Structure formats: structure tokens, C-alpha cells
Structure 1
């Protein structure tokens, strides 16, 4: 499975694409692509966001579902989704659920 991620151009915030909310600041609820067609759809959405100067570092990344939660496979993406690794009271991990 894959999701679409990027960084918002105005502030650098890590964001994920959701079919319900559009671009959002949290990974949970992101649109999942389970096949090549879904991946291509997300890729085209990302290219449009880049072309309109909304987002940069646009990428379709590998994820898995663990207990109904989206979990990135790569450590880099886990850190982007949670926040800094040296303090858990900062970043997205410190926000209320």
C-alpha cells in the first residue's frame, strides 16, 4: 500500500493527501493506494500540487496497516509523521489525538 506525502511550500510542514480532507497534517486518514492505478492517481495529485507551488518533496511512499493505523515502512517517513526523535513533547507526536 502507498500514500501521498509532501511538504507544504509555505511553512515546510509534512503533509499527506486525503480523499476526504485534501492535504492534511496527519498521516492517519490519508488516501491509500492498493494497486498501480491508485498509485498513479496519487502521483498525478502530487504533481499538480507541485506544479501549482503548493507543495514540494512530493512522494508516494510505502506504508502498511497495523491495527488499522497507517505506518510508513521507512524510518524517515515515520519521523516525518511523528516529529523529532529527541523529544516526544514536540512535533506531531505531542499533539492531542
Structure 2
């Protein structure tokens, strides 16, 4: 089974977030709680549905990741961009994504 994490966008500002081991929505993929078996994935899906229903987040998804040398890497390009930031200058406070992370 491929490792998975729960991601969403905060409802308040649209920023990409990941569920961490404390049950909080973090702006860092690297702190995400990783599900490594089907029961854990089902738990993540239930948490995501509840957070959506409570209007905390939108666009809730369980995504595939792999851990390489202690770093989580989303398998889809879309998720790598969401994790690392925009690919072009966007707005103050939003640095451009590291091309090495995006191209991996």
C-alpha cells in the first residue's frame, strides 16, 4: 500500500493544509500524519469529512506520498505544488516553490 496523508484548504484563507498527528491542520506537509494501512486511511477520510462538515476546510483529499530520506514527497505534481507553494511570484509572504521539489 502507498502511504497517504490528508490535505485540504483552510476555509478562512484558502491556504493548503495537512492533518498532523495532533489532529491539527498544519501548513507543513512534513508534519503530516501518515497513514500506512487501510484502517488509518479510513480514519483520515472520516476526519476530513467531519472537518468539512464543520466548515473548517474545503477540498479535502487523501493523497499518495512516499517518504524518501525522511522527507515526504507527494506523488502527483498538483500536490507537490500545493505543498511547496506557487510556481511563480504570487503575493507577499508566498515564496516561489523550489523547482527541485516540483520536478522530483
Pick the TM interval, shorter chain.
Answer: 0.7 to 0.9
Decide whether the 8 Å contact of 1:17 with 1:24 is kept in 2: yes
Decide whether the 8 Å contact of 2:81 with 2:97 is kept in 1: no
The TM-score normalised by the length of structure 2 is 0.82
Decide whether the 8 Å contact of 1:16 with 1:25 is kept in 2: yes
Q: How many residues align?
A: 93
Q: Which runs of 5+ in 1 are unaligned?
A: none
Decide whether the 8 Å contact of 1:18 with 1:31 is kept in 2: yes
The equivalent residue for 1:17 is 19
Distance between the aligned counterparts of 1:2 and 1:25, measured in 2?
Answer: 17
Could you tell me which of 42, 51, 54 is aligned with 2:53? 51
Distance between the aligned counterparts of 1:34 and 1:19, measured in 2?
Answer: 13
Instruction: Report the secondary structure of 2:14's partner residue.
Output: coil
The TM-score normalised by the length of structure 1 is 0.88
**How much has 1:57 moved relative to structure 2?**
0.2
